[in-house]
Chains A and B, each alone.
Chain A
Amino acid sequence: MSIQDALFPRGKIAGVYPTLTTRGDEAYVEFIEDARNVLMHAQQRPIGEYSQQLMTDAGIADSPDPETTQAAIDLLMQDPTLKTYYRVKRSLQEAFWSGLSKSLNQRRDEIVAAFDAAEAAGPGTVEYDDNWRENAPEYASREIHIQPGGYVKDELAGPFYDYGLKVFLGGAADHDRLAKGVSMATAVPDDGQVSRILDLGVSAGATTIALKEKYPDAEVWGIDISAPMVRYAHVRAMEAGAEIHLRQMAAEELDFPDNHFDAVLAMLLFHELPVPVAKEAIAEVFRVLRPGGKFTVLDFPSVRSRGVYSMFFAEMDAADNGEPYLPDYVRSNVEDLLVEAGFELEHYDPKAALTRGRVVVKPAA
């Protein structure tokens, strides 16, 4: 069966996403996406102000340290409206995955067969470990965002993740707009030489494709610890006509030579890594970047720019939304880890952490 028939039998959704199996499946997920827009995203500011007031009234200091954050959790999760908010958030998440997996599972065999058939086709290449499921490290096997099967053990992890991003961002990633913005934000060396780019933790490959489109003459590589992700990203790249090279590889064990890349990107990767893994990944990026090369890290802001409510929110997301490494990531101040590894910090604005990121440069030898 062709990729078109397997993945897009009813055309593409929002320009890039796999079609759900029936119109009814789609209507169900559209309801979830808009319920999140009204009952989650639109509430973020007013419910934050409400929570802040409750904490002020209770005399909780605006400090993000673990003890104060726990006091905030103990206080705020006694409030009926906040209990409702977090219940609704969790229920919508569970309903989304249930609806999506029920729909795509009806075509599971066809989709997997299409991935298999696509492997030898180009443009671009894909390689992964044949024993990918058995060899997946435990730390990477969590059900992030409570995605069924997580990122590394389900053959359909790629399309699940891709559609999840669409719904979680309320349409902001549609037509790969987000990925195109990320490619614009990816810093390159001051000398303008961009021969090789590496994208770490590519997931569905949207940013890797956008990088190739922005730098068509560069060799663009993308790695992910998940074999299902790179397999799906390869199909995505074929659809886009983008010649990118995808490998199943851990960021903390890069199989590339020293001083090999001009620019490296990590989009929303570091908050999915335990801090010891993050440190090794940073050391590896330092090794494979050439002097003058730049590393762009787009991810959530660090603890030094957060108050207690922001840390409360991160702790709640960790526990309820399958983000076990998020609080430690926030507290690690990743820009400090980058500097400790030898990089020079060129840019970091916490208010633009997800749009401009931390940009560091490998100093000249």
Chain B
Amino acid sequence: MAKLKEADLAYTNDLPGAERGNPSYFENEVIDHLLGIVLELGAQFWVLRDRQAFLEEQLAAKGVVSLEDLEHGTPSDELQAKLKAERLAMIQQVYGRLYSTYGGDKAGPTSAPMS
């Protein structure tokens, strides 16, 4: 079988996406930054909310909690299910309006379609 030479694939260096890059979607890149910032703040808020709920569960069950438990433990399956529902609702409420132009704020969550 003829082996491909490096030159045969040199064109791939210029394909869109060959380099990671740092794309801007808006003429004013500050808007790009702001959208990234509000998503990051949402994620950081959620980390705190998750920790608070886990802390409350631990305290209710044991009356005392260690830092080790909070850092490396895992909430009960029941609490994780409750937190997932809360998380989905929060994301939809806070960010769904970004897509209200076409009614996307009312679209329920779904996993990736495999078709």
Contacts and interface: CB of A to CB of B under 8 A. Distances in A.
Contacts of A92: 39
A184 interface: no
Contact of B23 (A168, A169, A276, A319): A319
B26 A274 contact: no
Nearest to B15: A324
A46 B103 contact: yes
Interface string B71-106: 111110000000010011001100110110111100
Contact of B16 (A28, A44, A315, A354): A315
Interface string B40-72: 101110110011001000000000000000111
B23 to A, nearest CB: 6
Interface stretch (A29-37, A115-123, A209-217): A29-37
A30 to B, nearest CB: 7
A337 to B, nearest CB: 15
Given A23-B74, A46-B107, A50-B101, A38 B8 contact: no
Contacts of B84: 30, 34
A170 B74 contact: no
A19 to B, nearest CB: 9
Contact of B88 (A28, A37, A178, A326): A37
A29 to B, nearest CB: 9
A269 B15 CA distance: 18
- Most chain A CB within a 10 A radius of its CB, from B6, B18, B96: B18
Contact of A139 (B12, B40, B95): B12
- Most chain B CB within a 10 A radius of its CB, from A32, A42, A172: A42
Band of interface residues on A: 35 or more
Contacts of B73: 10, 23
A88 B109 contact: no
A138 B17 contact: no
A23 B111 contact: no
Interface residues of B, number: 60
A40 to B, nearest CB: 8
A172 B18 contact: no
A86 B88 contact: no
Interface stretch (A77-85, A189-197, A233-241): A77-85
Nearest to B16: A319
A43 B12 contact: no
A136 interface: no
B54 to A, nearest CB: 6
Nearest to B111: A170
Nearest to B37: A91
A324 B17 contact: yes
A28 B20 contact: no
Interface string A283-297: 110010000000000
12 contacts: A23-B70, A31-B43, A31-B46, A34-B84, A38-B92, A43-B104, A83-B25, A87-B25, A92-B39, A280-B1, A280-B4, A324-B18
Q: Which 9 pairs, one residue from A and one from B, show the smallest C-beta to C-beta distance?
A: A170-B111, A27-B50, A50-B102, A319-B16, A324-B15, A324-B17, A42-B107, A37-B109, A31-B46
Given A85-B99, A94-B36, A172-B111, 11 more contacts: A10-B74, A24-B50, A24-B51, A30-B50, A31-B47, A31-B87, A84-B25, A137-B9, A172-B112, A284-B1, A353-B115
